Amino acid sequence: MFDPVIASRLQFALTTIVHIIFPVMSMGLAPFLVYFTWKEIRSGEPIYEQLRRFWTKIFAISFVVGTVTGIVLEFEFGTNFAAFSTVAGELFGGPLALEGMMAFMLEATFLGVFVFGRDRVGDKLYFVSAVAVGLGTWLSAVWILIANSWMQTPQGFELVEKGGREIVTLTDPMAAYLNPRFPYMFVHMQNAAVLSVALFMAGLGAYFVFRHHVWEYPIENVDFWETTLKIALIALVITAPLQAIHGDLYARHVYETQPQKFAAMEAVWETDSYVPEYIVAFPTSLADLADPKAKEIFGIGIPGGASWLASGGDPQATIVGLNEYGEAPPVAIVFWSFRLMVALGFWFILLGFWGVYRWWRGELLEDDLLHKSLMLSTLLGIVAVELGWIVTEVGRQPWVIQGVLKTTDGVSPGLTGAEATTTLLGFALVYLGLLALYTYVVVRIIRGGPPTGEELRVVEREGPSAEGVAGDD
Amino acid sequence: MIEPLSLAADPVFGLPLAELWFGLLFFILGTFLFLDGFDFGVGALFATREDDAEREQLIAAIGPFWDGNEVWLVVFGGALFAAFPSVYAALFSRHYLLMFAILGALILRGLAPEMYEQRHDETWQRWWGRSFVAGSLAAPFLLGVFVANWVLGASGTLTIPGIVVGLAVVALTVVDGAAFLRLKTRGDLRADLRRDSLYALAGYLLLVVAALGTIYATVPAVRTALLSPVALALVGLTLVLAAVYALATVRDRYYVAFAAAAGMVFALVAVVARLTYPYVDRAAGTTVSEAIVSTLPLNLMSVGAAVLLPLIFVYFAVLYSTFSGEIEPEESY
C-alpha cells in the first residue's frame, strides 16, 4: 500500500508519460499532413495522396488514444490534486477550459471531416479541415503549456485568504498567461514534436529502403518510402539544429528563473564559479549513478562550461549549489535525464546532416550504416521528449507551483492510500495494455503500407477548376 | 485591448454571471448527454445485432462524430474547473473511484470500435464487440450515478437513487441512439429499430418514475425542489416529448423523433439543475454564489465562451452536414 501522496505523484507521472506520446505524434504529424493535402490537391500526384492517406491513419489512431488518455489528466487535477486545484483553480482552470473550447473542439470536429470526408466535401473545405485539425493540435499545446509554464514561473497573481486558506487570485492575466517560461516551452515542445515525427518517418523510410535494396526483398511501394525518407530528412535537418540552439537559450532562462532546477541539472551541490559542463559523464560506481555530484563525477568536462551556459558567455559565473536550498529535487533523475536528452539532441543533428549529405552526393540509398542508424533512432525523438519533460517536472520539485505551493501540499486531503493505490495499479495495467494495442495497430498500419493502384482515388482531372474527383462509381 | 482593471471590478455588462455559468454548465452537460448519448445508445444497440454488415453500419454511423461529441465532457470538466474551482476539486476527489470508473468505461468505449475495425477474425471482433457494448453501457450508467450523487449530495459511491438514475440515463441514451440510427440506416435494420426505440422509451419512462419516487422517498432535502412548478413542468414536458417521440417513430418521421429525444435529454438535465440550485455542491453545502470564481477570471472566461461557443456550433454544423443522411454501405470504413 502506497502513501496517497506518493501514489498520486506516481499515477500522474505514469499517465502523463504515456499520454504525451500521442500529442507528440499528432502535433508533429500536423504540419506534414497539411503539406501532403496541399500538394495532393494542387498537383494531383498519387504519391501525395498515398502520403496523406497513410499518415492520416497513424494520426487518427494517435488522436483517439490521445483523447481518451487526455481526459484522464484533466480529471486527475480534481481527483488526486484537489488541494492544488482549490489553491490554483482560478488561474489554472481557465486555460484548461479554453483549451477544450478553442482547440480540442476545432480538432475533434474537423478530424471527422478530414478522416472520413474526402469524397463528401470539395477540395477547399477538405484543405480547410486539414488546417483546422493541425491548428487545433497546436492551439491545444498553447493552453496546456500556458498552464504548465505558469507553474514554473508564476506571476500575475496575489495570494488572498479565502476560507482559511491562501488562494491564488488572478490580478494580471497577461502577465500570468504570457509568463516568462511560456515562449521557451512552446517553441521547445512544438519543435520537438516535429523532430520526433521526422525521426519516426525517417526510421520507417530507411527500414523499407534498406529491406528493398540490401536484403533484396522487393517492396512494392519503395518509391513511397523513399519520398517519406527524403521529406523526413529535410524536416530533421531543420528542426534538430534549431532544437539545440533554442535549448541553449532555454537552459540559460532556467538558470535565471529556477536556479535550483539548473543546479540539479548540473548536479552542483556547493556554490561555485567556473563550473565545468560535463559533455560526457560516466558513472564509475553505483553511487555516482544514484547520487551524482559535479565535483566527483568522472567525465569529460568543458572547463567553465556550465557557468558559461548559465550566464550566456561568462565561464567565471557563479552557480548557487543545491546545499543552499532547503530541499533538493531527486538530482540523479534530473542530472542523467538532462544529459541523455542533450546527447540525443546532438545525435539527431549528426543524423540530419549525415543523411542530407548522402542525399546531396546521390548516395542516399547506398549508405547502409546511415539506414541502420536511422532505424535505431525511430523512437528516440519521443524518448528525448520524455526525458525533457522529466527534467522539467522532476527538476521543479519539491514545488508544484514554484515557490508558492509544495507538491505534498497539493494532494487531495481526503484521499486514502487504498484508493490511490488501487487506481495506480489499475492505470499501470490499463496503460500497459493501451500501449501494446497502440503499437499493434501502428505496426499493422505500417505493414499494410500506403494505398495503391485501384484503392487510390481517380487521378485524372478534367481541368484545374474541377472540384474533387469522382470517387467510387 | 481589454483593460484588466475594469474587468476586475464588475461582471461584464452587469450580467448575473454566476447563475449564467451554472446554467451553462448544465447546458454543456446536456449537450454532451445528447450527442455522446446517441453514441452510447448505438453501442448498446450493437449488442442486439448479429449480422456483420449491420454491425459495420452501426460503427460507421458514429465514426466521424463520437470523438467530437466526447469533447463536450472535456469542456464540462474545464468549465467546472474554471467557474467553480473549489467545487471541481471537492466533487472529483470525493467521488474518486467513481470518476476513474467513468474514465475506464470511456477508454473502453473509445478504443473498442477502433479495434473492432482493425481485424476481421471472429474471436477478435467478438471480444471487441463485447467491450464496445460494455463501455457504452457502463459510461452512461456511471455518469448517471455520479450526477445523482452530486445533485442529491450523497457521499457514498453506489447509492439507491444513484443506481436508478444511472439506469434511467442508460435507457435515455438508447432512446437517443435508436432515433439517431433510424436517420442513418435503411431497410430491415431501420424497420427493426422502430421496435427498439419504443421499448427503450417505455423503459426510460418507467425508470424516470422510479427515480423520482426513490428520490422523493429517500432524499427529503430535495422534496420541495422536486414539487416546484419548474420541476413539475419539466416532467410534464418529458411526457409530451415521449408521446411525440412514440408517434414520430411509428410514423417514420425520423428527424422529429430525434429532436424529441434531444428534448427529453435537455428536460432531464434541466430537472437536475433545478434540484441542485441554489447549491452547486449540496454535500458540502456550497451555493453557486459562494463557489463562483472571482470577478476578473469570470469575466475573461465569459468573454471567451461568448466568442467560442458560437464558433463551436459552426464546427458541429459543418461536421454534421458533411455526414448528413443515410450511410452508404461502402462507407463502413
Structural contact between residues A130 and A37, judged by C-beta atoms closer than 8 angstroms: yes
Contacts of B8 in chain A (CB under 8 A): 171
Q: How far apart are CA A90 and CA A88, in angstroms?
A: 6
Banded pLDDT at A473 (limits 50, 70, 90): very low
Q: What is the DSSP letter of B327?
A: P
Q: Among the residues of chain B, which ranges form H helices?
A: 4-9, 17-46, 52-62, 66-83, 85-94, 96-116, 122-152, 160-184, 187-218, 223-226, 229-250, 254-276, 288-291, 295-322
Handedness of CA A96, A97, A100, A102 (dihedral sign): negative
Residue A296 phi/psi, 5° resolution? -110, -15
Q: List the one residue out of A237, A266, A396 whose CA is nearest residue A342.
A: A266
pLDDT tens-digit readout, A52-107: 999 999 999 999 999 889 889 999 999 999 999 999 999 999 999 999 999 999 99
Structural contact between residues B68 and A105, judged by C-beta atoms closer than 8 angstroms: yes
Structural contact between residues B158 and B226, judged by C-beta atoms closer than 8 angstroms: no
CB contact under 8 A, B100 and A426: yes
**pLDDT at B50 exceeding the cut of 80:** yes
Q: How far apart are CA A50 and CA A57, in angstroms?
A: 11
**pLDDT at B120 exceeding the cut of 90:** no
The three-state secondary structure class of A282 is strand
Tell me how close the Cα of B87 comes to any Cα of chain A, in angstroms.
8
Structural contact between residues A168 and A91, judged by C-beta atoms closer than 8 angstroms: yes
**pLDDT at B1 exceeding the cut of 60:** no
Handedness of CA B66, B119, A439, A113 (dihedral sign): negative
Cβ–Cβ contact B290 with A under 8 A: no
The three-state secondary structure class of A171 is coil
Helices (H) and strands (E) in chain A, counts: 16, 8
**pLDDT at B2 exceeding the cut of 70:** no
The three-state secondary structure class of B35 is helix
CA distances (Å), origin A266, targets A77, A261, A319, A400 = 31, 9, 10, 21
Cis, bond preceding B278 (omega within 30 deg of 0): yes
The three-state secondary structure class of A302 is strand
Cβ–Cβ contact B278 with A under 8 A: no
Q: What is the pLDDT of residue A198?
A: 97
The three-state secondary structure class of B215 is helix
Interface test with B, best of A19, A74, A162, A421 (most B CBs within 10 A): A74
Banded pLDDT at A462 (limits 50, 70, 90): very low
**E strand spans, A125-243:** 157-161, 166-170
Helices B160-184 and B122-152 pack at an angle, to 10 degrees, of 130
Structural contact between residues A182 and A149, judged by C-beta atoms closer than 8 angstroms: yes
**pLDDT at A388 exceeding the cut of 90:** yes
Structural contact between residues B91 and B153, judged by C-beta atoms closer than 8 angstroms: no
Q: Which residue has the higher pLDDT, A387 or A315?
A: A387
Q: What is the pLDDT of residue B12?
A: 74
Q: How far apart are CA B175 and CA B203, in angstroms?
A: 9
- Give ∠ CA A172-A174-A175 in degrees, rounded to 5: 70
How high is the mean pLDDT of chain A?
A: 89
Region label for B30, one of left (φ > 0), alpha (ψ between -120 and 50) or beta (otherwise): alpha
Which grid cell is B21? 455559468
What average pLDDT score do residues B245-274 get? 95
Q: How far apart are CA B306 and CA A302, in angstroms?
A: 55
From the CB of residue A16, how many other CB atoms can be counted at a distance below 10 Å? 17
Q: What is the pLDDT of residue B6?
A: 66
Q: What percent of chain A has pLDDT over 70?
A: 95
Residue whose entry in the numeric block shows the C-alpha cell 468573454: B303
Handedness of CA A407, A409, A411, A417 (dihedral sign): positive
CB contact under 8 A, A94 and B300: yes
Residue whose entry in the numeric block shows the C-alpha cell 481589454: B2
Model confidence, pTM = 0.90
Banded pLDDT at B5 (limits 50, 70, 90): low
What average pLDDT score do residues B46-65 get? 90
**pLDDT at A204 exceeding the cut of 50:** yes
Structural contact between residues B73 and B146, judged by C-beta atoms closer than 8 angstroms: no
Cβ–Cβ contact A65 with B under 8 A: yes
**pLDDT at B3 exceeding the cut of 60:** no
CB contact under 8 A, B319 and A113: yes
Q: How far apart are CA A358 and CA B242, in angstroms?
A: 71
Banded pLDDT at B328 (limits 50, 70, 90): confident
Q: How far apart are CA B303 and CA B204, in angstroms?
A: 38
pLDDT tens-digit readout, A412-448: 998 999 999 999 999 999 999 999 999 999 999 999 8
Q: List the one residue out of A325, A312, A314 whose CA is nearest residue A274.
A: A314
Structural contact between residues A179 and A151, judged by C-beta atoms closer than 8 angstroms: no
Residue A450 phi/psi, 5° resolution? -75, 160
Banded pLDDT at A458 (limits 50, 70, 90): low
Tell me how close the Cα of A111 comes to any Cα of chain B, in angstroms.
8
pLDDT tens-digit readout, B186-195: 888 899 999 9
Report all structural domains of chain B as residue ranges with CATH numbers, in order of start: 17-300 (1.20.1630)
Contacts of A411 in chain B (CB under 8 A): none
What average pLDDT score do residues B249-272 get? 95
**pLDDT at A370 exceeding the cut of 90:** yes
**ipTM value of the model?**
0.88
**pLDDT at A465 exceeding the cut of 50:** no
Banded pLDDT at A363 (limits 50, 70, 90): confident
**pLDDT at A354 exceeding the cut of 70:** yes
Tell me how close the Cα of A449 comes to any Cα of chain B, in angstroms.
14
Task: Give, for A58, the enclosing helix (H) or strand (E).
Answer: helix A46-79
What does the domain layout of chain A look like in residue ranges? Answer: 180-410
Interface test with B, best of A8, A56, A58, A79 (most B CBs within 10 A): A79
Handedness of CA A197, A202, A205, A206 (dihedral sign): negative
Handedness of CA B232, B237, B243, B246 (dihedral sign): negative
Q: What is the pLDDT of residue A5?
A: 93
Q: What is the DSSP letter of B293?
A: P
**All residues at 6 or more sequence positions from A255 whose CB lies less than 8 Å from its CB, including other chains:** A262, A309, A310, A311, A319
Q: Which residue has the higher pLDDT, A462 or A347?
A: A347
How high is the mean pLDDT of chain B?
A: 91
Q: What is the pLDDT of residue A471?
A: 39
CB contact under 8 A, B118 and A441: yes
Cβ–Cβ contact A104 with B under 8 A: yes
Banded pLDDT at A317 (limits 50, 70, 90): confident
Structural contact between residues A160 and A134, judged by C-beta atoms closer than 8 angstroms: no
Cβ–Cβ contact A91 with B under 8 A: yes
Q: How far apart are CA B30 and CA A99, in angstroms?
A: 20
